[in-house]
Structure 1
Amino acid sequence: MSAGFADIDWARPWLASIEARGRRWQTAALAGHGDYLASLNEDAAAAGHVTGRGKRLAFIAQDELPAGASYEGHIAQTGRVPTRHNLHDFFNAAMWFAYPRIKAALNARQAGQIDALGIGPTRGGVRDALTLFDENAVFFACADASLGDALRGFCWRTLFIDERAAWGTRCEARVFGHALLEKLVAPYKACTGHAWIVDVPARYFALDDVARRAVLDEIVSERIRGEPLESRAFAPLPVLGVPGWWDANASPDFYDDASVFRPGRRARGC
């Protein structure tokens, strides 16, 4: 069963950072779950990344997760990430390589919450926010505070039309959430991420892709470890509105759809 792997379009700009490794994994996944896990573990052994409590990263089949064990707790304690043969877990694994510090920091906080509060019928506010981050976050790297303010304020015309030239020079978006990446295999206009605004220096935009990811990995992982985290810290970002990510958004009329680019209560100052 291919589980949709054949449908990945590597020409999509939001996949550029993971394309090289992703193509190899895609080929392995199409051959079967065993080949796929072997490919993941070959890369994990070479990279030497660790999970939330310093255990070497590895990948196992979902059915190897012991009965009664929590997913995040198992990863923190053993380093082994239970992985199904589907797109959701494919993109989760990709983020362990694209942003290893961030994934480890998220895992450490999740495991800490589980240690403190146990596993109940609900996750609680902190775990909900951590899960939302892991599943649906988009990094909005910004060297101009006014652009971050425009995003927070639902000022879509400012962000996407008036300041269109700022994209790639003073701001950019990078999809992190693996559930969001799964949705974007079949993109639709209303597809919306939870933007996490990251202040970066102007020199960030002179760096190559690898260096930019390293900067974000360091800054964001430190924030996750040290800051209170709650769901309202995010700003909604309709991802197909990002300039260069969808042909139709070259027309300003694209942003007139209020069902997607909602004004919000904070848009009065735009």
Structure 2
Amino acid sequence: MQFLNVQSPWYQAAIYQDLRQLLPISAWQTWPDTEQMTALLPKLTCNSHGKSIQFVCQSTLDACPDGIYYEQRILESGAVPTRPAHWHDLFNALIWCLFPKAKSLINQQHCDDIAKYGQKKRTPRRNALTLFDECGVIIAVADDHLSQALKQHEWDALFWQQRDAWGNTIRPFVFGHASYESYLQPFIGLCGKALCLPVSADFFTLPLLKQYQALDQQLSLALSADLLADNQPLSPLPLLGVPGWWPANESREFYLNQDYFRPAPKRS
């Protein structure tokens, strides 16, 4: 079976448009190997210890087990374990290509906590980093009213009343590779974890690659300031509600499903 299928969500869905535009995935007729994935990384992509990032086949590592934990391996050698023909790991590699600075810093912060508290203790920061790494969606937003609407679960205002703002003063950028994987088989209930990053209005006039580079830098600075010390900055984001990402959301009635578009929890 060919890797690309023009009828598949992977090829058609709008959520993957940035990947198709910025990375030469349309040239892949079969599953890419780790060398092909590594070749997509920006030049001189390194971890926080200056080791060049490279994707390494998991089966190669399994042949010579050394007991090194996933995050520690990336920090010590730059090698990112990658399973062959595996969507989850492919999307992880593609996110490394688009957000290399932030991915490197997340790796460093995981290892910092492991060194301090041990591998088995899951700190609030590691939980937040993992949640964002798997399910995160950066919301670049130039209007704080839209940020507040998202955080307050004002879904009709955010997704319908301000529909024209999407792409002009607010835009989603998927960071979580598990969110990309889950969208291959979309379902009502599919949610990401939104992290709002304020930007200027000029941001939306930048070429798409420049937008990603700017967000990578901004996110890295925010993480350095321990933005994700816990998961408080993260907000639920019903992915099928994002304008343009799901055909049914062209109707306002779609947003009336409160089992999916849930009101904000009442404060006690």
Q: TM-score, normalised by structure 2?
A: 0.90
Q: Quote the Cα distance in structure 2 between the aligned partners of 1:5 and 1:123.
A: 38
Q: How far off its partner does 1:104 sit?
A: 0.9
Q: Structure 1: any 5+ residue segments left out of the alignment?
A: 30-34
Q: How far off its partner does 1:186 sit?
A: 1.2
Q: How far off its partner does 1:183 sit?
A: 0.2
Among candidates 45, 62, 81, match of residue 49 of structure 1: 45
Corresponding residue for 2:190? Answer: 191
Q: Quote the Cα distance in structure 1 between the aligned partners of 2:98 and 2:178.
A: 15
Q: How far off its partner does 1:9 sit?
A: 2.2
Is the CA contact 2:4–2:26 (under 8 Å) kept in the aligned structure 1?
A: no
Corresponding residue for 1:72? Answer: 71
Is the CA contact 1:238–1:260 (under 8 Å) kept in the aligned structure 2?
A: yes
Q: Quote the Cα distance in structure 2 between the aligned partners of 1:168 and 1:43.
A: 26
Task: Give the 3-state SS of the residue equivalent to 1:181 in structure 2.
Answer: helix
Corresponding residue for 1:154? Answer: 153
Among candidates 16, 35, 38, match of residue 38 of structure 1: 35
Is the CA contact 2:135–2:176 (under 8 Å) kept in the aligned structure 1?
A: yes
Amino acid in the other structure paired with 1:172: R
Q: 1:116 to 1:242 in 2, by over 3 A?
A: same
Q: Quote the Cα distance in structure 2 between the aligned partners of 1:222 and 1:211.
A: 17
Corresponding residue for 1:32? Answer: none
Q: Quote the Cα distance in structure 1 between the aligned partners of 2:71 and 2:136.
A: 18
Q: How far off its partner does 1:148 sit?
A: 0.2
Is the CA contact 1:25–1:36 (under 8 Å) kept in the aligned structure 2?
A: no
Amino acid in the other structure paired with 1:160: F
Q: 4+ residue runs of structure 1 moved beyond 6 angstroms?
A: none
Q: 1:107 to 1:22 in 2, by over 3 A?
A: farther
Q: How far off its partner does 1:175 sit?
A: 1.1
Among candidates 26, 29, 32, match of residue 27 of structure 1: 29
Is the CA contact 2:189–2:238 (under 8 Å) kept in the aligned structure 1?
A: yes
Task: Give the 3-state SS of the residue equivalent to 1:60 in structure 2.
Answer: strand
| Residue correspondence of structure 1 range 86-101 to structure 2 within 5 A | 86-101=86-101
Corresponding residue for 1:257? Answer: 257
Amino acid in the other structure paired with 1:59: F
Is the CA contact 2:54–2:78 (under 8 Å) kept in the aligned structure 1?
A: yes
Task: Give the 3-state SS of the residue equivalent to 2:237 in structure 1.
Answer: strand
Q: TM-score, normalised by structure 1?
A: 0.89
Amino acid in the other structure paired with 2:52: R
Is the CA contact 2:140–2:196 (under 8 Å) kept in the aligned structure 1?
A: yes
Map Cα deviations across residues 135-159 of structure 1 (whole Å, 9 max, x no partner). 0000111000000000000000110
Q: How far off its partner does 1:26 sit?
A: 4.7
Amino acid in the other structure paired with 1:257: N
Q: Quote the Cα distance in structure 1 between the aligned partners of 2:245 and 2:160.
A: 14
Identical aligned pairs, as a percentage?
32
Q: Structure 2: any 5+ residue segments left out of the alignment?
A: none
Q: 1:54 to 1:113 in 2, by over 3 A?
A: same
Bigger shift: 93-102 or 64-73? 64-73
Is the CA contact 1:153–1:266 (under 8 Å) kept in the aligned structure 2?
A: no
Corresponding residue for 1:222? Answer: 221
